[in-house]
Structure formats: structure tokens, C-alpha cells
Amino acid sequence: MARSQRPVALLSEATGDRIQSSVRYREVIGPLGLMYEARSVCTMGGELWGAIDLARERGRPDFSAREVMLLRRIAPHLGAGLKAAVLRSQASAETNSDGALGVLILDNRGRV
């Protein structure tokens, strides 16, 4: 999903509404009493920093277009936050450094 720049995917769409044909459904989702699944990747600069996996119990409706749009909107922000958190924790862990440690995060225009 990250490579194809497709931040959100529904299991129902991926299987052409034949969810039972999915190995993941048969082996993981179905036995848990779940039915529909929405997956999202949180990327920043083309790199994967996290993922979201949401599932709905059997008898509930599939994820709506509005819910998919919400995931699409928040995924890049979560990716940026996860990347910043990892970089910040790595900088904090490097206490034996001779120089000053820090993280500077720039937007696509080079602004802080």
C-alpha cells in the first residue's frame, strides 16, 4: 500500500465483495467474529512509519466512504507524528555524543 501510494484499502474492495475468499479473513478476521476490515498506512516522504487496522464485527455495515476519507486525511499526519517521535527518541538515546542533539522538522517548502 505504501509503495502504490494507496493510503487506505478495504477488504471488501480488495476481494470484489467476496470477503470469504480472503485467507486473512478465513484465518484471522472471521474466527474473531469480525467481518469488514479497513487498513491504512501512515507514510512520510514515501517511507512507512505505521499502520492502522480497523475491523467491524459481523452484522455491522462495511466502512463508509466518509470513514475511508477520514482515514485518508489523518494517515499522513500520523505518519509525520510517528516519524518525529522515532527521531526524537533516537536523538534522546544518543547521550554519548560530542555535539548538540536535536530534531528539526521541515515542511515541503523547507520551513520549520
Per-residue confidence band for 102, with pLDDT thresholds at 50, 70 and 90: low
Q: Quick: pLDDT tens for 56-74.
A: 999 999 999 999 999 999 9
Please give the pLDDT value at position 37. Answer: 96
Closest alpha carbon to 71 in 32, 44, 39, 33 = 39
pLDDT band at 47 (very low <50, low <70, confident <90, very high): confident
Query: CA torsion sign, 101 to 105 to 109 to 111?
Result: negative
Four-way CATH pick for 8-93: 3.10.580.10, 3.30.470.20, 3.40.50.720, 3.30.450.40: 3.30.450.40
Contact 44, 83 (CB under 8 A): yes
What are the structural domain ranges in the chain?
8-93
